[in-house]
Structure formats: structure tokens, C-alpha cells
Amino acid sequence: MKHKTLYFEDDVLKMIDQRILPLEIKHYEAKDYQEVCEAIKKMVVRGAPAIGAAASFGYYLAVKEFYKADDQDSIKKIDRAKKDLLNTRPTAVNLSWSVKRMEKVFKNENNISLSKKLILDLLYKEVKNIFNEDIKTNKKLAEYGNKLIEKNDVILTHCNAGALATVGYGTALGVIRKANQNNKNIEVFIDETRPRLQGASLTAFEMLEEEIPATLIVDSTAATLIKNQKIDKIIVGADRIASNGDVANKIGTFMLSVIAKVYEVPFLVAAPVSTIDFDISNGNEIEVENRNKDEVTEIRSVRIAPEGIKVYNPAFDLTPAENITAIITEKGILKPPFKECIKNLT
């Protein structure tokens, strides 16, 4: 993608504001950890790997703001900041994965005698690693995923699991990018992805920029396309994968997986190993975020439902492992039974 999803410069985190894409391309700047929290909560930046990367920089900013040698109060403030970062969005595990990595560097016993400057240098290096590794991981994952794509495949995707959901390149869209680069003559159908329309505003934007043939549909069209044998494969990303292979991803993913199973269309999930939560045995242990009712009663601040109507707005759903054909990671393609393959990754 021509534009960077997020990057840092002079201790400022700059994120392309995904709330206003594709109408405007503007960067939102976070200069302290609270501004990073706001950006994640308000979905300026979104997508599991991207919010993980943003939170790592948020942790760095918190240490920069609060840390004082031999001051327990400063440590409490950093722990508070960590909790605030973790509480921004509950479902994507990449957030806690990256914050844990940062905390490990900060709390490393060997660093206790170091100056604040040296501690900050180490944390900055870790943020850089997290950012760089994300792009490398996605490219590796895409190479594996590409092996599952045949010439002339028509692929359906949901939400945005592209460069905009990661530091760059993307997961599900990374596989699509790679297949396109390899001249597989693929075609993509994009679910608009109500309520926040990540498909219509973000995936469509990425596909056009990359000149990948793509068609936008409303979410409820997907079933008819699948039934009419117009779709060869479905590829989605993930926000959290349990150790039995259950997947939490954008609301609507589960419904697609059920239709895919009925009509025997391969249902592929592309995600880095950092999206696997090895500590939970199945998807029921995943906290699903419930979001504001305005996301359903309004479209970009234009009211579409009457005042007073009750709303239920979970941001994610759970796709059981038995509906998934393969999970594509940077360590290879996992096939059922997932429990064994996932165990072997630890």
C-alpha cells in the first residue's frame, strides 16, 4: 500500500485515520499513551496486529512520561498505563502480546541499574522489532497462503485484514496480494462488513490501490454467491485464535463459515502466531467486545434508525474450529485437528 498504516517519528505515533478513509487520507498523531488509548478505542487504528503495534508504542510513551529511577510511584503509574492500554479493546490478543513484550524489556532485572535513557533506547528497539517483524511475518504467511490459491480463484473476504489492519502488507489480504503478484488471475468479492464498513471503506480502498479486480457486496449477498458456486475460497483474518483452533473475528465471520461448510467452499483463516492465545482452550473463553449502539443506528453520523430502538452490537463472533479448512500462519499451514498443530507451535 502507498500509505503507511502507522509509524513513529520524533516520539510521536502517526496513524492513518481509518475513520475517514477512503474519503480523506489524514494522519492522527498520538504524543502520549492516553492519545494512543483514544486512537485504539475510537478505531482510528484497528485490526488486531495494528492495535498491538500501536499499544507497544503507547507503552514506550508511558515509560518516557512516568519513569523515575528508585521511585515506586512511577512504576505504579506505568502499570496503570499498561492496564489502560490493555482495556482499550478486549478481543484481539495481539494487544496483550505486544504490551507483554514491552513489559518484559522494561522489567528485565538486568536493566535496573541502567539510566532512563538506556531503558528508553531498549524499549524503542523493541517497538521497532514489533513493527518490522509484523511486516516480515505477513509476507511469510502470504507465501504459505499463496500455495492454497489456484489460478482464476474467486475469493471472498470479510472485514479488513489488509495492510490497514497490520503494520503493513496484511494477513488475509496479504495472501490475496501475493497471489495477485504471482499472476494467478484472482478476483475478489468484498463483504461491506456492517456496522463499521471496514470492507467497503478499507478493503475496497486497498484492492483499488493495488489494482486487484474486486467487487463490493452487502454482507447478505455472500450466501447467494456461495450457493451459486461463484466463490472458490473464503479468506478472513482473526482477532484471537484459541488453542483448539476456534477463531474470534469480525461479526459475520461465523455466518460465512456456516454457509461455506454447507456448500463445501474452503474456509481459510490467515493470522500470525501472535494472534493465537495458547492460554485458552476454546473460543468460549474469548471476551467479545460490545460496541456503541450508534454504530448500528447511524452510518457515519447519519441517523438511519428511530430514536429509542434497542441495539445489540457485538464487534466479533466465534467461528468453531470444525468450520475452518486451514489456518495460515508464518510458521506454515495448520490443518485439522488444529489442537495438535497449535500445540506444536509452542
Q: Read off the amino acid at residue 332.
A: G
User: By three-state DSSP, how is residue 288 classified?
Assistant: coil
Where on the chain is the footprint of ligand MRU (CB under 6 A)? 46-49, 92, 159, 161, 165-166, 171, 198, 237-239, 249-250, 315
Specify the DSSP class assigned to residue 290.
B
Q: Give least dist CB 96 to ligand MRU, A.
A: 14
Q: Which residue is nearest to ligand MRU (CB)?
A: 237
Q: Give least dist CB 151 to ligand MRU, A.
A: 25
Q: Give least dist CB 111 to ligand MRU, A.
A: 32
Whichever of 120 and 168 has its CB closer to ligand MRU, that residue is: 168
Nearest partner of 255 among 221, 217, 280, 290, judged by Cα = 221
Whichever of 237 and 245 has its CB closer to ligand MRU, that residue is: 237
Of 153, 239, 246, 317, the catalytic one is 239
Whichever of 63 and 317 has its CB closer to ligand MRU, that residue is: 317
All residues at 6 or more sequence positions from 261 whose CB lies less than 8 Å from its CB, including other chains = 267, 323
Do 211 and 198 form a contact (C-beta atoms < 8 A)? no
Nearest partner of 174 among 144, 131, 129, judged by Cα = 144
Q: Give least dist CB 89 to ligand MRU, A.
A: 7
Q: Give least dist CB 26 to ligand MRU, A.
A: 18
Whichever of 92 and 259 has its CB closer to ligand MRU, that residue is: 92
> Rounded to an integer, what is the distance from CA 206 to the centroid of its chain?
15
Whichever of 41 and 100 has its CB closer to ligand MRU, that residue is: 41
User: By three-state DSSP, how is residue 29 classified?
Assistant: strand
Whichever of 56 and 198 has its CB closer to ligand MRU, that residue is: 198
Q: Catalytic residue at 79?
A: no
Quick one: cell of 280? 485458552
Q: Read off the amino acid at residue 132.
A: N
All residues at 6 or more sequence positions from 42 whose CB lies less than 8 Å from its CB, including other chains = 19
Nearest partner of 96 among 85, 104, 107, judged by Cα = 85
Do 139 and 248 form a contact (C-beta atoms < 8 A)? no
Q: Give least dist CB 120 to ligand MRU, A.
A: 29
C-beta atoms surrounding 72 within 10 Å: 8
Do 159 and 173 form a contact (C-beta atoms < 8 A)? no
Active site (catalytic) residues: 239
